[in-house]
Chains A and B, each alone.
Chain A
């Protein structure tokens, strides 16, 4: 069974510092990787996705992918108290059924991030 592992935390980071969130996955054939942010009591919202090895930047967020090590990370620069949330890592899965297949995601359990003012 495909697995996605994250440290549950809490990860405590001072305001203005860089928060580093890590994720490992078991399926070497995985091609697509996603980061979602989930505030307490709310639903997950997509932050960014990455397909290729290396870094992908979007504003204060940088996703890093190393397929050889089966490792994905999310860096948040200039952390703000509003970044305090649970961050979910997700990896693509392909489910086959009679007549075809469908794309889905396997989610990690999330890392709880706290930005201290």
Chain B
């Protein structure tokens, strides 16, 4: 079974804090993705990575950065958290086109 894990299920941060969300997959997948999901807006792609140290912007990269130093780990960084980044963050990894999601991190920025 594919296993994608995320470092936290719930997180509360203050405006201006630097926030790290981590994602680990155990299936040696090349591609990994970060999405955010908000009511009425669906899943929106923030960044994806197709190889170690490689990254590409998704549809809404502003205010975010990513890091992929090892194949199994993909980190999402909020450089200076803002209240409009309160959301559910979902990580996925893929074999070919099929994506498998982690459990999600619900982030609240106060």
Contacts and interface: CB of A to CB of B under 8 A. Distances in A.
Interface of A: 32, 34, 41-46, 49, 88, 90, 92, 95, 97, 100, 102-105, 107-110
B103 A103 contact: no
Interface in B53-110: 56, 90, 94, 96-104, 106
Chain B contact patch, size range: 20 to 34
B58 to A, nearest CB: 8
Contacts of A46: 98-100
In the complex, the 10 A-B pairs of residues with the closest C-beta atoms, listed nearest first = A109-B42, A102-B50, A43-B101, A103-B97, A107-B43, A43-B104, A92-B97, A32-B97, A44-B101, A97-B56
Nearest to B90: A43
B42 A42 contact: no
Contacts of B48: 95, 102, 104
A103 B99 CA distance: 10
Interface of B: 30-31, 33, 40-43, 45, 48, 50, 56, 90, 94, 96-104, 106
A49 B98 contact: yes
Contacts of A100: 50
Contact of B42 (A34, A41, A107): A107
A110 B39 CA distance: 10
B41 A109 contact: yes
B90 A105 contact: no
Contacts of B33: 104
A102 B98 contact: no
A102 B56 contact: yes
A20 to B, nearest CB: 21
B5 to A, nearest CB: 11
A20 B43 CA distance: 22
Nearest to A103: B97
Contacts of B101: 43-45
Contacts of B98: 34, 46, 49
A102 B31 contact: yes
